Chain A
Amino acid sequence: AQKITQTQPGMFVQEKEAVTLDCTYDTSDQSYGLFWYKQPSSGEMIFLIYQGSYDEQNATEGRYSLNFQKARKSANLVISASQLGDSAMYFCAMRELNKLVFGAGTILRVKS
C-alpha cells in the first residue's frame, strides 16, 4: 500500500523568503507520480506541480520547484519568494495507476 508522509503540520515563512515543505513517500512500485496541491480556505484544490518517477530532472513551475530524491523517497516542495497569497494548506499526493492518495498536509502562513 502506498503511503505519503508530511511531517510539518504548520510552517511560517517571512514574505519574499523561500520555504521548503517536506514530503516522503513509500511505494514498492517503479512507476508512480508525485503531485503537490495548494488548498486555500475557499476549499479549491489547486494543482501546483508534478514529478514522474522516471523523470531525471526536478520539476519546476514558476516559483514552485520539486526537490525529488528518489533514493530517499522524498519529494519536497520549494516555494521561492513567498507571497502573502501563498498562505494555505499544501498537500503532497502520490498516484499509482489511477489511485491518487494524499498526505496529511502542511499549513503554510506567510508573514509580512
Chain B
Amino acid sequence: DTEVTQTPKHLVMGMTNKKSLKCEQHMGHRAMYWYKQKAKKPPELMFVYSYEKLSINESVPSRFSPECPNSSLLNLHLHALQPEDSALYLCASSRQGIKGTEAFFGQGTRLTVV
C-alpha cells in the first residue's frame, strides 16, 4: 500500500469559517508534509512533521494550523482564510531522513475561499 489519502477532495469555505483538511497514510512513514500549490506553479512547502513533531514551518501565516495526532494522521486546520489562499493543498509522506527513497503524495484538496 503506497497510498496517501486526503479528505475532502474539494472544499469551499467562507472567510469566517473554520475547516480542517485531513491526511492519512499507513506506510509507516515518520515524515509528513503539507504543500500549497497554485495553478501552473510548483508545490510550495508549508510544514514538515518528523516523528509527530513540527520540524519545519516555512513562515506560514497563523490562519493555517497543522496538527499531527499520531504517526498516521496529519491535519491542517483553517481559520479566517483569504481568497488568495485558494489553491490545491497536497499532503505527502516519506521515510525519515535522507535514506528514504519514497515520498508519496495524496490526491490533494482543492480549496476555494469565497
Q: How far is the CB of B105 from chain A (nearest CB, A)?
A: 4
Chain A contacts for B41, CB-based, 8 A: 104-105
Q: Are B50 and A102 in contact (CB under 8 A)?
A: no
Q: How far is the CB of B63 from chain A (nearest CB, A)?
A: 23
Chain B contacts for A46, CB-based, 8 A: 105
Q: Which of B47-102 contact A (CB under 8 A)?
A: 48, 50, 55-56, 88, 90, 92, 94, 96-98, 100-102
Q: SS class of chain A's interface: helix, strand, loop or mixed?
A: strand
CA distance A93 to B94 in the complex (A): 14
A99 part of interface (Cβ distance < 8 Å)? yes
A12 part of interface (Cβ distance < 8 Å)? no
Q: Are A95 and B42 in contact (CB under 8 A)?
A: no
With A43-B88, A103-B42, A104-B42 known to touch, is A98 a contact of B97 (CB < 8 Å)? yes
Count of interface residues, chain B, beta-carbon cutoff 8 Å:
29
CA distance A15 to B72 in the complex (A): 41
Q: Are B107 and A100 in contact (CB under 8 A)?
A: no
Q: How far is the CB of B104 from chain A (nearest CB, A)?
A: 6
CA distance A101 to B103 in the complex (A): 12
CA distance A112 to B40 in the complex (A): 24
Q: Are B31 and A98 in contact (CB under 8 A)?
A: yes
Q: How far is the CB of B110 from chain A (nearest CB, A)?
A: 7
Chain B CB within 10 A, most for which of A35, A43, A101: A43
